Amino acid sequence: MAGKRCWKLEYSIALFVMLGVLLLIMPVSIESNRQANFISKWNERFNLVEYMFSVINAHVSDDMIKSMNKAKTPEQRELILLAIVKPYLRIGTYNLQVKHYNPRYMNGSKINPGQRYYFDDFYFAENNTIVGIKDLKNEKSYDVLFIMMFDMNGLLPPNRWGKDIFGVNIYDGGHIEPFGFDYDMDSLKRDCSESGTGISCSYYYKIGGGFDE
């Protein structure tokens, strides 16, 4: 009888240990699956955006170019680009004010006005994603003209660069590159980490980098 009670006690202890291990592993596993899903969606979105600009460039009209050249402010140029990409990305007309949406860097630090990756306006696109467009108006044709950001999770958290937010540089002629494409591998790994900004994850994940490295 005592042996039976001892066996039940050992069984109960083993069961509790197993449950404890599962409870510790489950959040990590869930987060890993969620991150993998964000990365998959980003890869799909990048391919769509790359194709979109190739189509736009092939059909760009003289009037569109003239309108862009005549635009006197960054806001005007952003609205012109928004009008061009809206049908492809199914962007709504509703402008999401900054006060309702506050993306941050991967390390949790705030993105302040005046910084390169601070966007004044955001828009809802298909599948409840959020799109931001920013004009960087440069004089040289090989400089970045615009940047775009995509929050794959919309208003839902984490709203962090490198987690659910990614972006691209847009050059003259509609050529695009993911943020971080000009980083070396060591810089990519440092930036695409919990202590970094997460900006370069846009490229790092495109070349097969792992979020758990």
| Residues ≥6 apart with Cβ < 8 Å to 198 | 105, 106, 107, 160, 161, 162, 163, 165, 191, 192
> For the segment 8-65, what is each residue's pLDDT rounded down to a tens digit?
555 556 555 555 544 444 454 667 888 899 999 999 999 999 999 999 888 877 777 7
Domain count of the chain?
1
Q: Is residue 80 part of a domain?
A: yes
Q: Is residue 24 part of a domain?
A: no
Closest CA to 148 of 84, 58, 208: 84
- The residue whose two tokens read 């828009």 is 123
pLDDT at 141: 60
pTM value is: 0.82
Lowest mean pLDDT across 20-24, 115-119, 206-210:
20-24
Q: Is 60 exceeded by the pLDDT of residue 4?
A: no
**Owning domain of residue 132:** 38-204
Q: Is residue 83 part of a domain?
A: yes
For the segment 183-210, the average pLDDT, to the nearest whole number, is 94
34's enclosing H/E stretch is: helix 2-59
Q: Is residue 31 part of a domain?
A: no
Helices H / strands E in the chain, number of each: 5, 6
For the segment 174-180, the average pLDDT, to the nearest whole number, is 95
pLDDT at 142: 75
pLDDT at 60: 77
Q: Is residue 184 part of a domain?
A: yes
What are phi and psi for residue 73, nearest 5 degrees? -130, 155
